[in-house]
Amino acid sequence: MDMNLYEPIHIPQAPTAAEAENILDVRGLNVSFRTAAGTVHAVRDVSFSVRRGETLALVGETSSGKSVTSLGLLGLTPPAPYCTITGSARLMARDGNSYELVGSPERVMRRVRGGVASVIFQEPMTSLNPVHTVGAQICESLRIHLGMSARAATDRAAELLNQVGISDPKRRLTNYPHELSGGMRQRVMIAMAIACEPSLLIADEPTTALDVTIQAQILELLEKLQSQTKMAMIYITHNLGTVAEIADRVMVMYAGRIVEQADVVPLFTQPQHPYSRGLIHSVPRLHSNRARKTPLFAIPGNVPDPAAHPPGCTFGPRCGHFEPGRCDAAVPDLENAKPSHLVRCVRWQEIEGAV
Amino acid sequence: MQQQQSAPPLLQVEGLRKWYPLGGGWFGKPAQSVKAVDGVSFEIRRGEVLSLVGESGSGKSTIGRAILNLDPPTAGEVHFDGEPLVGLTRRQMRPLRRAMQMVFQDPYSSLNPKHTVEELLSAPLEIHMPELTVQERRNRIDAVLKTVGLNPAHRSRYPHEFSGGQRQRIGIARALMTEPQLLVADEPVSSLDVSVQAQVINLLLELKQRLGLTMLFISHDLAVVGHISDRIAVMYLGRLVEIGDADSLLNNPRHPYTRALMAAVPNIDPRQRRPRELLKGDIPSPLSPPSGCAFRTRCPHAQSACASGVPELRLVERNHATACIRDDI
């Protein structure tokens, strides 16, 4: 199982020109919450884009701002003045229309959510309504967004269940969520999310609550659906293991900011930010005997309190390369380390190759 | 090593069954039972970490609870340090509880939010070591907090003031307060971020070495288990399908289910993407398990012979047994 990290074996293919158009363009997104303890800046100056048929993984620990980024884009955060969103985010629909997601009225956002962009959440039991059948829940968005009749919606819902790999779909439509296993519920969530053929799918920790065997099934399903529909996907997770399996590009977030962004292979083979390296090394692997006996690599400490960030680089207090006077002087800029490889670290050139 | 072999195991489990009756029968006689655990035997030697691995619904957590008599077993024997546990009343269990403690999966719901860390940690001392003075109790709390890597000055804080990883450290500290010999850890890291998960696994390993703890580690993730175990037992639908030394089992898995669990661990190198070997479907309902080998409905190597008779565990190597009838796969 040992592998040489520096020997190229198989490189995921770059998207073709036809696929290379941007479905989502986010520029300077900021999300802040007003709380009793003061204003909390959950997302700061985040810019990225996702192309048709591409999977962008958004990686970070709890409170890194990865989920708030996606909730903010879809207008699922609390209303103003409790939550303030600034910046811009343009989303392309399949029909060629484009929508500005920041600051749009609820009327527009309602058309976007479920129709142009959908989201799957971590916990399929709490995101499905326990008092409605699976069929009723899938049909709802078909009838609202596509104006289907009840009968047509039911037929389409059965087709969708079939598409996400649920056998005997007609009977399953009459089931309630509690009658399904965790993996099946997540398949139903995915069927609901793709019902209106969105151009963007946001998957927020879709496999975290599932067994590893079911996780592999769900990753396979998401990949299959994406290659069929060419939708853009934002895959949010704290586990870099699954990122290596599914992503085309990776964006690592820490304390609300992007700290590194690159294509998946360079990110794993030449990570530039010490935080990305820590995340990669802390994934437990099925190892050879000798490596199993050594302790796992762990990033020391905890994520900072969002209301009281340390000065300068927010990762400084947990970083093995921290240099007083430089790292805590100012927030480092997001620099181009290589073409299309961004890193936010003042010392990235000095510490390249170090762990 | 030889001493280990000759010393009696700390925990011996023999033919453990836990059946949950379902209603609907006449005069209290259940029509049907869910066989959550159906005839499981293993032992854990002193200072050893045995991991129980399997999907949700395999019965691994039920075993952990049955061993500690939190959910008394339906049948079978459990011996702790030579003493039989099955059939003991709560009162009789109490002195033994001091020596066997549990760490739960969810550090959010297993810590009382209205108690400070000090209150949480002194509860086991009040029950099991009432002879300690207030000062002795406090010294002990400080020492254990340091052991698990928390600042003793935080003893007056409440659980919500800590992150998930820190809360799990509090859960571990609580289990350590009475100086137990056996620790049952039920998915202690699965609700944590990967970066923090590594901290908690390393802490458990360090505790094992420093305090000579014996551990039953319950998890669904073979990659995590590989880092912490001396021996591994794989469960499927209430039975053990493979058990053996960690090295032997991970290097040479014999049961198709163990192989499937290993194949499901994500590969961290994006250049080595390959078609996934997927296990079809979900674990069957324990209400109506398949006849013969319970795994045969999802097994890529199933034959007609697999449907007749439940395969027993048989030795394939020294300290490595599997419950698969096929030797040719």
Q: Verify whether the Cβ–Cβ distance A217 to B279 is below 8 Å.
A: yes
Burial class (CB in 10 A: 0-12, 13-18, 19+), B147: middle
Instruction: Please state the rounded mean pLDDT for residues A236-251.
Output: 94
pTM, whole model, 2 decimals?
0.88
- Which residues between 190 and 219 in chain B have a beta carbon less than 8 angstroms from any beta carbon of chain A? 193-199, 201-202, 205-206
Alpha-carbon distance A246 to A278, whole Å?
20
Type of residue numbered B284: P
* Mean of pLDDT over chain B: 90
Whole-angstrom distance, CA of residue A337 vs CA of residue A331: 17
Burial of B209 (0-12, 13-18, 19+ CB in 10 A): exposed
Residue B238 contacts residue B310 (beta carbons within 8 Å): no
Rounded to the nearest 5 percent, the helix, strand and coil shares of chain B are 35, 20, 40
Between CA B97 and CA B218 the distance in angstroms is 19
Pairing of strands A117-120, A200-204: parallel
Contact predicate A160/A191, CB 8 Å: yes
Q: Do A284 and B260 touch (CB under 8 A)?
A: no
- Per CB-CB distance under 8 Å, the chain B contacts of A247 are 270
| b/e burial code for range B115-136 (CB count within 10 A of at least 16 → b) | ebbbebbbebbeebbeeeeeee
pLDDT of residue B5: 52
CB contact under 8 A, B224 and A241: no
Q: How far does the CA of residue A311 sit from the closest CA of chain B (Å)?
A: 21
- In the 8-state DSSP scheme, what is residue B271? G
Distance between B117 CA and the closest CA of chain A, angstroms:
18
Question: What's the average model confidence in pLDDT over A201-212?
Answer: 90
Is A350 in the B-facing interface, judged by CB distances under 8 Å?
Answer: no
Report the range of poorest mean pLDDT among A5-14, A168-177, A346-355, B175-184.
A5-14
User: What residues of chain A lie within 8 A of the CB of B194, using their CB?
Assistant: 238-241, 279, 282-283
Question: CA–CA separation, A338 vs A198, rounded Å?
Answer: 33
CB within 8 Å: B163 and A62 = yes
- Which of these ranges, A230-244, B21-35, B49-63, B110-124, has the smallest mean pLDDT? B21-35
What would the pLDDT profile of B92-131 be if each residue is shown by its tens digit? 999 999 999 999 888 888 999 999 999 999 999 999 999 9
Indicate whether B305 pLDDT > 60. Answer: yes
Q: What is the rounded average pLDDT of the residues A133-137?
A: 95
| Tokens, residue A292 | 């199993």
Dist. CA A78–CA A85, nearest whole Å? 10
- Chain B interface mutation, best of A2, A184, A213, A292, highest count of B Cβ atoms under 10 Å: A213
Confidence category of residue A2, pLDDT binned at 50, 70, 90: very low
Interface test with A, best of B251, B271, B283 (most A CBs within 10 A): B271
With a pLDDT cut of 70, the percent of chain A lying above it is 92
Q: Is the dihedral of CA A289, A6, A16, A20 positive or negative?
A: positive
> Which of A82, A80, A128 shows the shortest CA–CA distance to A106?
A80
- Averaged over B61-72, what is the pLDDT? 92
Tell me whether residues A9 and B272 touch, CB distance under 8 A: yes
In angstroms, the CA B78 to CA A224 distance is 48
Q: Please report residues of B whose CB lies closer than 8 A to that of A241.
A: 194, 223, 265-268
Give the Cα separation of B110 and B98 in Å (integer).
18
- CB-hemisphere CA count at 13 Å for B207? 29
Q: Is A123 on the interface with B (CB under 8 A)?
A: no
- Chain B residues lying within 8 Å of A295, measured CB to CB: 202, 205-206
Instruction: For residue A228, give every residue at least 6 positions away whose Cβ sits within 8 Å of its Cβ, in sequence order, or none.
Output: none
- β B239-245/B231-236 pair status: antiparallel
**What phi and psi, each to the nearest 5 degrees, are found at residue A80?**
-60, 150
Contact yes or no for A283 and B268 at CB 8 A:
yes
The model's pLDDT over B234-272, given as tens digits with 9 standing for 90+, comes to 999 999 999 999 999 999 999 999 999 999 999 888 998
Closest-CA residue in chain B for A237?
A: B193
A278: nearest CA partner in chain B:
B195
pLDDT the model gives residue B30: 63
